[in-house]
Each structure stands twice: as C-alpha cells, then as structure tokens.
A = this chain, B = another copy of it.
C-alpha cells in the first residue's frame, strides 16, 4: 500500500501540531474545515487512524467514549479532568516498572500498559 500525498492529511497533521489539548476527531474536523470546507468527517477519521498507525501521532483513550489525538508521540502520562473532561499532559518520566512487576503475576506476555490519572484540573478546583 503505497502512500500518496494529500493536502487534507497535511492539514490534519498541521492542525494537531498546533494543539496541546488532545482534540477529538470532531474538533479536528471542525477546525480543518476552515481550510478545507468540503473535507468529510470520514477523511478526518481515516487520516487520523492512518497517522496513528504510522506512528506519526498518538491515539489516546481515556474512557470518556471518544478518542483523542496527540501530535506528541513521545511516551508521557495524561490526566483527565472528571469535571470538564479536558485531557492534559503530565511532564513526568514514564516507567514500566509496574508492567515488569505485573509480569511476575501473569502467565501470558505483558507487552505494555495504559495508565492515566483523573481528578480535578486546576481550572475546576474552586478558589476562594
């Protein structure tokens, strides 16, 4: 399957590069539509999936029923606010020590782990 260049894909990737808030497919769609008014939602989904498969972006699942996408492919933790639903990065080194520990308790082969944190983001904590 030989990749062919597409302006829509470029635009999707370029948009993601400008955002640190891990937008959903729908947010990408609404924004990219400003440069490509006729782009279809299917095109957005297809390219997000393609880019994620190529390892150029990351798909993030934080249990809110919607996939989020991240231009930053370096491994890092995420936080999800239970109040506003925002997804933010944690600038904290990742460790696989739990995975290695878990392997001791498991007969199959553990290849990786998913970890994210939840609670209230700074904006959603009532200030006096």
CB within 8 Å of B: which residues of A? 61-63, 77, 79, 81-82, 90-92, 95, 98-99, 101-102, 104-125
* A98 with B120: CB separation less than 8 A: no
* B111 with A82: CB separation less than 8 A: yes
Q: What separation, in Å, do the CA atoms of A77 and B119 have in the docked complex?
A: 19
* B117 with A112: CB separation less than 8 A: yes
Contacts of A106 in B (CB 8 A): 79, 90, 117
Could you say which of B92, B115, B121 contacts A113, with CB atoms under 8 Å apart? Answer: B115
Nearest neighbor of A59 in chain B, beta-carbon distance: B63
Q: What separation, in Å, do the CA atoms of A77 and B104 have in the docked complex?
A: 13
17 pairs, CB–CB < 8 Å, chain A vs chain B: A61-B63, A62-B114, A77-B102, A79-B110, A90-B102, A91-B105, A92-B101, A107-B121, A109-B125, A110-B119, A111-B118, A111-B119, A111-B120, A112-B117, A113-B115, A113-B117, A113-B118
Known contacts A110-B117, A117-B112; decide if A105 and B122 are in contact (CB<8 Å).
no
What is the minimal beta-carbon distance from A67 to any residue of chain B, in angstroms? 9
What is the minimal beta-carbon distance from A49 to any residue of chain B, in angstroms? 14
Contacts of A112 in B (CB 8 A): 117-119
